[in-house]
Amino acid sequence: MLTKIVLSSQGPAMIAYEEFGRGPVIVFFTGAWVRPRIFKTLILSLSKQYRVIVPHIPPFGESTLTSSHITFDEYGMLFSTFIRSLHISSCCIVGHSFGGMVALYTAFHCKNVKKILLVNPMMEEFCPPKDTKEYLHIFYRV
């Protein structure tokens, strides 16, 4: 079922997301132009033990932004707000392709992210924060 939530951390944005199952939370970011149905078998399998939340990354899917340009850092702030707005105190995030970059920057901004899994991430534009120690902590967070 598609749900929509309006956020205003990076200017007004409407984030559409799908939610499956119950249990510990996994937030699953798909690649650009990739609909969650591509991962239907995986999502349904995970939803037997986990609450799986699959946001549509704007401007892809059903989500929208008022700005025509957004940086990965701004995506990270936006989805950190998204996670907190759903009252998620602890989660694992999975990012595929373009969604891997969004997941990585979300982990920088959201201390509620305990683990991160990147699947074939788009890394050529990755610019870690100036404080490399801050960058490394997300890979060692338990």
Instruction: Please give the Cα distance from 119 to 130 (Å, whole number).
Output: 25
Residue type, 51: R
Model confidence, pTM: 0.82
- Residue 14, token pair as written in the block: 């409407």
Q: Where are the alpha helices (DSSP H) in 11-87?
A: 40-46, 72-85
The answer on pLDDT for 63 being more than 80 is yes
pLDDT digits (tens, 9 = 90+) for 24-35: 999 999 887 777
